C-alpha cells in the first residue's frame, strides 16, 4: 500500500520554519523512539541549515529499551548526541534544557563580555505529526500551554512559550514531507499514528503490523492476543488478523469478522504500548546520514 499524506497546512509549516529560523538559537528535533529512522523528516536538515540541533527520542517508554541503547550508540558513532525522553513523565527533559544551554555557552559568554548578563536560549521544536511535541512542551513548561491531542494535525499555528527565565520555545505544527520514497517509511508512520487513519485502509495497515510483530516480537504478540507461537509462523496476513479477531470476539452477524473493529484494536494497542515495548527499526537496517550541526 502506497501511503501519502501532505495536507496544505504542512506546506505552510515549512515556510513558517524557514521564516523564523533567524529568531532561534537551537533546534530541538523530536523523533519517535519506535521508528528513529522513519520519524526523521529529511527536509528538516535543509530547513534548519547549520543551526545547533538537539535530537531527542520521544516515547522512549514505548520503545524496546535495548534497541534504543543501540540507536544512541549508533548516533554517537556519527558524532550526534541523542537524548531519550518521555514527555508524559518528564524523563530526560532536564537534560534537554541543560544541553540546549550548553550549545549556547559561547554566545552567552560573548554577551556577558559585552555586559549583557542574561541571555535566554530561544529554541524551535520540530518533528512529524503525533510525535508528542505538544506533550513535550506542556511537560517542559510545567503546565498545559500548548494544545495536545492523540491524533496528527492538532497544532496548526506557531506560538512562543516561555519555559523559565532561561529558555523560550517556538512551537510549530508537525510536518511530514511531500512524498515518501520508501514504502516502509510510510507504513511505519501509519503504524505509529503520524498519518491520519481515515485516509488509509486500516485493515491493511493492521495486517502488515501483525506480520511485522510476528517476526520481530512473536512472544509479545502471542501473549497479548493469546496466540500459539508455532501457529503464527505459517499464517497469511489475513488469516492472522482473523485469528486475532476471533480471540477478541470481533464477530458480527453470522460469524463474520468485524475487520474495522479488530484493526482499530490492533493499532490502538500497539500505539498505547499494550502489546509491549517495541521498536520497528534497528541501526543498520538502512543507510542513514544526518547533516547539519546536531550534537
Binding residues for GTP: 58-61, 86-87, 130-135, 174
Q: Per the annotation, where are the binding residues? A: 58-61, 86-87, 130-135, 174
CA angle, 218 then 224 then 226, to 5°: 85
Strand 82-84 with 26-32, pairing = unpaired
Q: Answer whether 42's CB lies under 8 Å from 48's CB.
A: no
Q: Answer whether 91's CB lies under 8 Å from 67's CB.
A: no
Radius of gyration for the chain, computed over Cα atoms and rounded to the nearest angstrom: 21
Helices then strands, counting H and E runs in the chain, come out as: 12, 7
CA 195 remoteness from chain centre = 11
Q: Answer whether 47's CB lies under 8 Å from 144's CB.
A: no
For the four alpha carbons of 28, 199, 187 and 219, in that order, the dihedral sign comes to positive
Question: What residues pair up with 125 in beta bridges, in sequence order?
Answer: 28, 171
CA distances from 80 to 65, 235, 243 (A): 19, 41, 43
Cell 498545559 found at: 144
Calculated CA dihedral for residues 227, 229, 234, 236, nearest 10 degrees: 30
Amino acid at each position: 500500500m502506497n501511503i501519502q499524506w501532505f495536507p496544505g497546512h504542512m506546506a505552510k509549516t515549512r515556510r513558517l520554519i524557514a521564516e523564523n529560523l533567524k529568531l532561534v538559537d537551537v533546534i530541538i528535533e523530536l523523533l519517535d523512539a519506535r521508528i528513529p529512522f522513519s520519524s526523521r523528516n529529511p527536509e528538516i536538515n535543509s530547513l534548519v541549515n547549520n543551526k545547533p540541533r538537539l535530537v531527542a527520542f520521544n516515547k522512549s517508554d514505548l520503545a524496546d529499551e535495548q534497541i534504543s541503547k543501540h540507536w544512541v550508540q549508533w548516533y554517537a558513532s556519527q558524532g550526534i548526541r541523542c537524548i531519550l525522553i518521555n514527555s508524559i513523565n518528564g524523563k530526560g527533559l532536564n537534560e534537554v534544557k541543560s544541553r540546549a544551554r550548553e550549545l549556547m555557552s559561547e554566545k552567552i559568554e560573548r554577551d556577558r563580555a559585552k555586559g549583557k548578563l542574561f541571555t535566554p536560549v530561544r529554541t524551535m521544536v520540530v518533528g512529524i505529526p503525533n510525535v508528542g511535541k505538544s506533550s513535550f512542551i506542556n511537560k517542559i513548561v510545567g503546565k498545559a500551554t500548548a494544545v495536545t491531542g492523540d491524533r496528527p494535525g492538532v497544532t496548526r499555528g506557531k506560538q512562543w512559550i516561555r519555559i523559565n527565565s532561561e529558555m523560550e520555545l517556538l512551537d510549530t505544527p508537525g510536518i511530514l514531507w511531500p512524498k515518501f520514497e520508501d514504502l516502509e517509511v510510510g507504513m511505519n508512520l501509519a503504524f505509529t499514528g503520524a498519518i491520519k487513519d481515515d485516509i488509509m485502509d486500516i485493515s491493511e495497515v493492521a495486517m502488515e503490523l501483525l506480520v511485522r510483530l510476528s517476526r520481530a516480537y512473536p512472544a509479545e504478540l502471542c501473549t497479548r492476543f493469546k496466540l500459539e507461537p508455532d501457529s503464527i509462523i505459517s499464517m497469511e496476513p489475513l488469516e492472522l488478523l482473523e485469528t486475532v479477531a476471533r480471540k477478541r470476539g470481533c464477530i458480527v452477524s453470522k460469524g463474520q469478522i468485524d475487520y474495522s473493529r479488530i484493526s482499530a484494536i490492533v493499532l490502538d494497542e500497539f500505539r498505547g504500548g499494550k502489546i509491549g515495548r517495541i521498536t520497528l527499526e534497528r541501526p543498520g537496517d538502512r543507510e542513514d546520514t544526518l547533516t547539519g550541526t546536531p550534537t
